[in-house]
Amino acid sequence: MKIAIAGTGYVGLVTGVCLAEVGNENVICVDVDEAKVESLKRGISPIYELGLEELMVKNYDLGRIDYTTDYVSAYCDADIIFIAVGTPERSDGSANLDYIKEVALQVAESVRKDVLVVIKSTVPIGTNDAIEEYMQKHLKNKGLKLEVASNPEFLAQGTAVKDTLDASRIVIGVESEWARNILNEIYSPFEQPIVVTNRHSAEMIKYASNDFLALKISFMNDIANLCEIVGANVDDVAYGMSFDDRIGSKFLKAGIGYGGSCFPKDTKALHWLSEHNGYELKTVKAAIEVNENQKLKLAKKALKIVESFKGKKVAVLGLTFKPGTDDMREAPSIVNIQYLLERGADVWAFDMVGIENAKKIFGNEINYSTSIDEVILGAEVCLIMTEWKDVVEYEIDKYMKLMKKPLVLDGRNCYSLDEMKNAGIEYYSIGR
């Protein structure tokens, strides 16, 4: 079976490589960027993702996967085409489907045999129906069978390869046995539970799953804020909650809000969709509001303590929205650094892998380093934004020794309250 993948971002590239890894011998990934395609052929991933480059090299050398900018040759005789291009957020919160429509038109004009088109991109409910209608309208060879299926992804950045090869479930939304059988054949080597439903339900499963996790995060951040006021410890509260099987232990960690390419975009998109259909999802709306307010919590607290950032060296530990990825999209560090710069701070930032992406945002407005020692040396304030292992395992005595004033505001609750107090460090965390 010939498999074509439109898009080589997180979803498309990981999907293509993992399909090759389970034994498919004819996988072709399509991208518009010639330089990117050449890098992919050399085994260089455009994203930082654990284990991905090793699988890219292995399966390219085995001849199972290839990369091209020639979409006509990729799509014309494909048995199944996965669309995995971006659906960025519009200014009103709705999803921008322009890239999907662009690929859909290319497919409709290129295919020369019956084909199943599978949308892996996160799209509003009803999009699969609309794209199938759009493709049928523009289908060059009218006698061909072309059907669209929904197959949303559930990847977490930093663990995307593992999440694909060892998924909790695979969701497929189909409108025919033909489409169901093709997808069952594609996914049978993964030996994972397959949830089969219609296209609208599959689209909703994706949004409902992501938005529920975002709700858990915002709920715990709200509880953390109240814990600070009443003298409770949110870590203890979360631990006590985690024993309840109905709640679970994941996504109960308080912090400075969620970021990345999924939760912010998907909560806003579902909120927009509900309002567009005359219904208000109050819980999702609340999650969005809590998250936006949470992001600047540390910087605002620091300003109350130091009164002014002007001319002060401020250390920021962590740039990416979470450890294990170089993704800066919707990272809390962005609004915090902007807040600091607007108030005259001399910002020094540490990160393991996100510096190059951060430079695309801040350029030379801030200083960058992969050394925590260098970043905190002489600093009067330190803000912890990402719980990289290097940060969590950092010798806390160094804050006392290297900083001009040992004032640490921790947005990820990396350290023990007692240890920081005993070290003589002025320390503030979330909900403790």
Structure letter (DSSP) for residue 262:
S
> Is-catalytic flag, 262?
yes
The DSSP-derived string for 51-111 is THHHHHHHHHHTTSEEEES-HHHHHTT-SEEEE----PBPTTS-B--HHHHHHHHHHHHH-
Paired with 314 in beta bridges are 347, 381
Structure tokens at 194: 């397959």
Paired with 30 in beta bridges are 6, 68
Distance between CA atoms of residues 176 and 198, nearest Å: 9
- Give the Cβ contact number of residue 415 at 10 Å: 20
First to last CA, the chain: 55
DSSP H/E element including 149: strand 146-150
- Give the Cβ contact number of residue 201 at 10 Å: 15
How would you classify residue 155: left for phi > 0, otherwise alpha for psi between -120 and 50, otherwise beta? beta
Structure tokens at 335: 């609004």
The vertex-173 CA angle with 172 and 179, nearest 5°, equals 85
β 115-119/146-150 pair status: parallel
Contacts of 77 (CB under 8 A, 6+ apart): 2, 112, 113
DSSP H/E element including 186: helix 177-187
**How many residues in total does the chain contain?**
432
Q: Name the active-site residue from 18, 29, 227, 262.
A: 262
- Helices 297-306 and 282-295: angle between axes, nearest 10 degrees: 40
State the Cα torsion 33-51-22-108 to the nearest 10°. Answer: -20
- CA 71 to chain CA centroid, Å, is 27
Task: Give catalytic residues, as residue numbers.
Answer: 262
